[in-house]
Structure 1
Amino acid sequence: MNKLLIALGLAASVALVGCNKQEAPETGATTGEHLENAADQAGHDISKAADEAAAKTEAATEEATAKIDAAGEEAAAKTEAAAQNAKEAAKDATVATASAVEDGAANVKERAQQ
C-alpha cells in the first residue's frame, strides 16, 4: 500500500513538473524567449532614448550658440554707438573749450583796450 502511495505521489510530481515546463499559452513563447524579447526591447528603448537625448542636446547647443552670437552682435553695436557718442561728446567739448578760450581772449583784449 505504501509503495502504491509513493508511486502515485511520484507520478503526480512528475505530471506537475511537466506541466510547469510547458510553453506559456497566451504567446506560445518560453520564459527564455520572453527574457530575450525583453532584453531586445530594452536595447531598443535605450538606443531611442540616447538618440532623443543627443537630438535635444544638439538643439540646445544650436540655440545657445545663436543666442551667444546675437548677444555678441548686440554688444558690438552698443559699443560702436557708445564710441560714436564719445566721439561726438569730445567734439562738442572741444568746440565749447575753443569757444570759451576765444571768449576769454576777447574779454582780455577788450579789457586791455579800455
Structure 2
Amino acid sequence: MKRLSILAGGLLMFSAVLTSCRDTAEKETIVREVEVEKEVKTPEEVEEKEGILERTAKEVDKEVNKEIDEEIDKIGDDN
C-alpha cells in the first residue's frame, strides 16, 4: 500500500513538472485606431431631447438671474 502511494505521488509530481514547463503560445494583440465623427447638434435638436422640466427650469433660471441682477443694481456699489 505504501509503495502504491509513493508511486502515485511520484506520477503526480512528474506530470506537474511536464505540464508546467510547456511553452504556451503567445497571443498577438492587434490594436486598431478608429476615427469617430462627432455630431454637431443645433440648439433645436438639443431642445427636442430635453424634457418639459428642463426647459422650464432654464426659463425660471433666466428670470431669477434677471431679478438678482436688478437687486444688485438697486443696492449699488458700496465702494
- What TM bracket, shorter-length normalisation? 0.3 to 0.5
Higher helix share: 1
**TM-score normalised to the size of structure 2?**
0.35
TM-score, length basis structure 1:
0.26
